[in-house]
Amino acid sequence: MASTAPPLLLLHRLPEFSLPFVSVLQTEFTVLDPLADPPDPSFPALSSSARVVLCVGPSPLTSDDLDRYNAVECVVGSSAGINHIDLAACRRRGVRVTSGGDAFSDDVADYAVGLAIDVLRRVSAADRFVRAGSWPVQKEYALGSKVGGKRVGIVGLGGIGLRVAKRFEGFGCIISYNSRHVKSQVPYTYCANLVDLASNNEILVVCCALTNDTYHVINKDVMTALGKNGIIVNIARGAVIDEKELVELLVRGEIGGAGLDVYEHEPHVPDEMLKLDNVVLSPHRAFLTPDSFAALEKVVVGNIRAFFSEKPLLTEIELDI
């Protein structure tokens, strides 16, 4: 009997939007939910023998969690950035980790370009202007800045960064990038230093993972090098940018503008930003479309199935930290 019973699948505090997933998973797995209401009396016993834990959404998975679920061999993550999972602890315990892979990459890249156009051409500001009834009254309107042909610097040329680059190429933009390693197969200029990347470009798009190495890597020096005609787009993680410095530079007009989908202390957005006309603010949703969910479901279910059938995981992370 035991060999044909559905494998145990442990959930780790799932946000509401992931509920459709669960019903799919329940057809194949015995799904263990720590937040079940009413609580599942078999949870304590079963959770200690579950080999896979699924983490959808931003809830941290800590070393303590892994202590509690001590049979876990694989953490199936669901986002592009997996900084909320304690990767060092996973590595120490020999726990494998998967990410959402490229399920969200197209959507995030689309959104990054949308934010850049919006900031430069003041699209949301124009929408506010028209909705406020200002057009018939105040006929002239502050000009934006051209997008086509601009120099775009990309921080992190992974699945998302590459897609951002490809999109900007269609606008006649010139692409350069910074990344952990030089990518020999891309036609873009590598720039080893972020201050140089910023000073050589007019649009800086932050696409890298948040790690110990990238925390606040976009600091005052980098942003000052970008300058008052430069704009910054962040669709990665808030803490890649030193947000306090960003706010000050924006308020003083020392950088040209920002399109932000992520913040250091979400859902908190610094008050000063809410008043600025040269920023476009978005509630961490660059990755969110019905299509990206469908793609994610495929990756998540695929990884869980692969684990239990001892096949290669689809989107395993290299734990070289």
Q: Which is nearer to a copy of itself, 46 or 281 (CB)?
A: 281
Cα 287–chain centre separation:
7
The least CB distance from residue 97 to a copy of itself, in Å, is: 26
- Rounded Cα distance, 154 and 197, in Å: 8
Judged by CB under 8 A, does residue 282 bind a copy of itself?
A: yes
Q: Which of 145, 200, 219, 224 is in the footprint of a copy of itself by CB under 8 A?
A: 145
Judged by CB under 8 A, does residue 41 bind a copy of itself?
A: no
Cα 230 to Cα 154, 200, 270, 278, 302, distances in angstroms: 13, 10, 21, 11, 41
Q: Which is nearer to a copy of itself, 48 or 289 (CB)?
A: 289
The least CB distance from residue 203 to a copy of itself, in Å, is: 12
Determine the size of the site formed for a copy of itself (CB under 8 A): 58
Q: Which is nearer to a copy of itself, 69 or 168 (CB)?
A: 168
Q: Which segments of 266-318 does DSSP mark as H helices, in order?
A: 271-274, 290-308
Q: Single out the residue of 80, 97, 24, 30 nearest to residue 303, CA to CA.
A: 97
Cα 204 to Cα 18, 146, 182, 200, distances in angstroms: 32, 15, 18, 10
The least CB distance from residue 118 to a copy of itself, in Å, is: 6
Q: Which is nearer to a copy of itself, 38 or 133 (CB)?
A: 133
The structure tokens listed for 193 are: 């230093």
Q: Which of 30, 71, 289, 316 is in the footprint of a copy of itself by CB under 8 A?
A: 289
Find out whether 66 and 300 touch, Cβ atoms under 8 Å: no
Q: Which is nearer to a copy of itself, 74 or 241 (CB)?
A: 241
- Rounded Cα distance, 171 and 54, in Å: 39
Contact window for a copy of itself (CB under 8 A) among 154-162, 208-216, 261-269, 303-311: 261-269
The least CB distance from residue 184 to a copy of itself, in Å, is: 22
Active centre residues (catalytic): 237, 266, 284
- What letter represents residue 197's amino acid? L
- What letter represents residue 109's amino acid? A
Find out whether 187 and 177 touch, Cβ atoms under 8 Å: no
Q: Which is nearer to a copy of itself, 222 or 233 (CB)?
A: 233
- Rounded Cα distance, 236 and 213, in Å: 14
Judged by CB under 8 A, does residue 252 bind a copy of itself?
A: no
Cα angle 258, 264, 267 (rounded to 5 degrees) comes to 95
Strand order through the sheet with 257-260: 189-190, 174-178, 151-155, 203-206, 231-234, 257-260, 279-281
The least CB distance from residue 263 to a copy of itself, in Å, is: 9
Of 163-222, binders to a copy of itself (CB under 8 A) are 163, 166-172
Judged by CB under 8 A, does residue 109 bind a copy of itself?
A: yes
Of 6-25, binders to a copy of itself (CB under 8 A) are 16-17
Judged by CB under 8 A, does residue 283 bind a copy of itself?
A: yes
Residues that bind a copy of itself (CB under 8 A): 16-17, 106-107, 109-111, 113-115, 117-118, 121, 123-124, 126-131, 133, 135-136, 139-141, 143-149, 163, 166-172, 266-269, 274, 280-283, 285-286, 288-292
